[in-house]
Structure 1
Amino acid sequence: VEDGGVVAAPSSSSAGLGVVGAAVEAVAAVAAMQDEVGSRREGPEPDPDDEPPKKKARVPGGESGKLEERLYSVLCCTVCLDLPKASVYQCTNGHLMCAGCFIHLLADSRLKEEQATCPNCRCEISKNLCCRNLAVEKAVSELPTECTFCLKQFPRSSLERHQKEECQDRVTQCKYKRIGCPWQGPFHELPAHESECSHPTKTGTELMGILGEMDQSHRRDMQLYNGIFSLLCYEKIGFTEVQFRPYRTDDFITRLYYETPRFTVLNQTWVLKARVNDSERNPNLSCKRTLSFQLILKSKVNSALECSFLLLKGPYDDVRIKPVIHHHCFSNDTNETEYVLLPISDSVECNKLLAAKNINLRLFIFQVQK
C-alpha cells in the first residue's frame, strides 16, 4: 500500500511463503531442464505398441544371439571346444566330452599305459566311471546351426533331414550317373541340367566304354564276395570268437600289443597277435591309428596245412570291418603269417577298439582242399 510515496513492507509470514514458493518453482524449473536434456540424449520413451517392427525383431534377436553364445561355451566339449554331434559323456564332476574325444582319451591312456583323466579336473575317467548326459544331448540338438549349402539357420535335430531332402542348394547328381554322367551341382539346377544332358543321346559304343570303367570297382567287390562263397563250400571250415587282450613288451620303452588265449579250430591250436601302428615307437603321438594282426599255428603238423582265413567283427561289437581273405601255408617251419592290416574303416574305429577293455572278433579258417 502506497502512502505518501512510501511502500509498505510485507509481513514476515507472507515473505516466508514467497521465498518457499520461489524455491519450489526453481526446483521444478531445474527438474524440467534435466528432463528436457535427458529427452534430447535418450529420446522419448517409446510406446511398445508403437515400436517399429524392425526394432522389435532386432532386440530379441540380439538377446538370443548372446544366449546362444553363452550356451555354446557351456555345452561344448572340454577337449575339442566344439559342440558335440552325437553322444555326450561327463566325468564324475560333470565336465562334458563328446564321444570322439572321450574314446580318443581312453585310447591314448591305453597306449601310454596310464589312467585316463578328465582334461579339466584330472579325475579318473573310464566307461564305467563316466555316463552319458541326455539333457545336454537334447539341448545341443535344439541349438541352431548353419546349413553348409544354403547357409540358413536350423535346429541341429532337423539339419540332417534338411540337408538330405529339403535344401534347394544341396549337392545332387544327375539321374544319368548310371550311364556315366559326372555332373554334380545344386538341387535347384538339376531339372535344367537333365533336360540338356548329353548322355542319353550317346551311342551304344560310347556308353559301353563308359560302363566298362564303372564296372571295374564293382568287379573287385564281387570277386571278394564270390571268394567268400566259394570258401563256404570247403569241406573243412572252422570259426570261433577270439578275444584280444592287451599286454606290454619288456623293452626299455614298452610297447602295447594284443594276444589271444590259445584256441582250437580244425583240430589245431592257434594264437592271434595284434599290434598298433606296426609297433612304432610312440603311436600316441600320431593321429592315424591302425591295427595289424598275425595268425600263429601252435600245434605240430605232419604235413603242410594250407589255409584261408579272415577276421570279422564279433557278435556284440559295432566296429565296422570290411572282410579281406588271407592265405598261408602252415608248416612246422612257417607257422606264423605276416602281419596284415585289420580292415577297419578309419582311425576312429581303431580308437574304439583301443578304448575297449578287450577286442572281441570272430575268426574263420578254411582248410584248402588238395
Structure 2
Amino acid sequence: MTSKHPYVYMADQQINPLLICSICQNPFVDPVTSEDHRRGCRDCFTKYLSSQSVTVTPIQEWIVLEMLNSLLVECTKCNENKIRRGDLKRHEEKSCRRALVLCKAADIKCPWQGVREELDTHVKQCVFEPLRPVLAEIIMENKQLKEKIDRLEILIKKFTERN
C-alpha cells in the first residue's frame, strides 16, 4: 500500500514518535495533516485516504520540519552514513562519490556521463576540454551572428511593410 521509503535511517538514533507516519511507520516524508488532525506522509495519505474525500494540508511548523531534517540517514548510493536528512540532497549533488555526473565539458557537448569518483580520470583524457577556448570563440561569434540576423529580419519586415 505504501511506496518505498526514500531514506535509510541510522538504527542507533531515537526518533520522536510524533514524527512517525501512522501508515508507513517511518518518519514523515512531505508531511501533511488531515482535517481531523491526523499527520503523515503525503504519499501515504493520498493512497490510504484516496477513497475518502479528505483534504490534507502541508505541515509547515518550523520545529517539525527541522526535527525531520535533523534525522541521520545513510546515502543509498555511496553508503556514507550519519548525514543529516536535510543535507542528503546537497550531499548527492556535491560530494557523493557514486552520484551520476556529467563531464565538466558537457556544456561544449562532451557526451561522457558517469559516477563522480570516475570524473577526474575522465577529465584528464577528455578531448573536449582542450577545445574550450576555440569553441567558446565560435559560440560567441555564432551568437553575435544570430543577433545580427534577428536585427536584419526586423529591418526587412519594416521595409516590406512600408511598400
TM-score range, shorter chain: 0.5 to 0.7
Aligned-partner Cα distance in 2 for 1:131–1:191:
42
Paired position in structure 2 for 1:99: 42
- Residue 165 of structure 1: how far off its partner (Å): 1.9
- Residue 88 of structure 1: how far off its partner (Å): 3.2
Give 1:1-370 correspondences, 5 Å limit: 65-68=11-14, 71=15, 75-90=19-34, 92=36, 95-105=38-48, 108-109=50-51, 115-116=52-53, 125-127=54-56, 132=59, 134=61, 135-153=63-81, 154-199=83-128
**Which amino acid in 1 is paired with 2:39?**
L
Aligned residues: 120
- Residue 160 of structure 1: how far off its partner (Å): 1.5
**Which amino acid in 2 is paired with 1:132?**
I
Change (3 A) 1:191 1:74: same
Change (3 A) 1:191 1:176: same
Change (3 A) 1:173 1:133: closer
- Residue 177 of structure 1: how far off its partner (Å): 2.7
**Which amino acid in 2 is paired with 1:102?**
F
Structure 1 SS opposite 2:76: coil
- Residue 143 of structure 1: how far off its partner (Å): 0.7
- Residue 146 of structure 1: how far off its partner (Å): 1.0
Structure 2 SS opposite 1:185: strand
**Which amino acid in 1 is paired with 2:22?**
T
RMSD: 3.4
Structure 2 SS opposite 1:175: coil
- Residue 99 of structure 1: how far off its partner (Å): 1.9
Conserved in 2, the CA contact under 8 Å of 1:142 and 1:155?
A: yes
Which has the larger helix fraction? 2
Change (3 A) 1:132 1:200: closer
Change (3 A) 1:161 1:67: closer
- Residue 72 of structure 1: how far off its partner (Å): 7.3
Aligned-partner Cα distance in 1 for 2:130–2:65:
51
Change (3 A) 1:198 1:72: farther
Q: Flag the structure with more relative contact order, 1 or 2, with Cα contacts below 8 A and sequence separation at least 6.
A: 2
User: Which structure 2 residue ranges, 5 or more long, are not aligned?
Assistant: 1-9, 132-163
Conserved in 2, the CA contact under 8 Å of 1:75 and 1:140?
A: yes
Deviation track 1:185-240 (CA, whole Å, cap 9, x = no partner) reads 232332221111245689xxxxxxxxxxxxxxxxxxxxxxxxxxxxxxxxxxxxxx
Structure 2 SS opposite 1:85: coil
User: Which structure 1 residue ranges, 5 or more long, are not aligned?
Assistant: 1-63, 110-114, 117-124, 203-370
- Residue 142 of structure 1: how far off its partner (Å): 0.9
Which has the larger strand fraction? 1
Deviation track 1:126-159 (CA, whole Å, cap 9, x = no partner) reads 24xx673734333221111112332122011111
TM-score scaled by length of structure 2:
0.54
**Which amino acid in 1 is paired with 2:75?**
C
Conserved in 1, the CA contact under 8 Å of 2:27 and 2:68?
A: yes
**Which amino acid in 1 is paired with 2:59?**
R
* Fraction of identical pairs, as percent: 28
**Which amino acid in 1 is paired with 2:67?**
A
Change (3 A) 1:176 1:78: same
Aligned-partner Cα distance in 1 for 2:129–2:77:
29
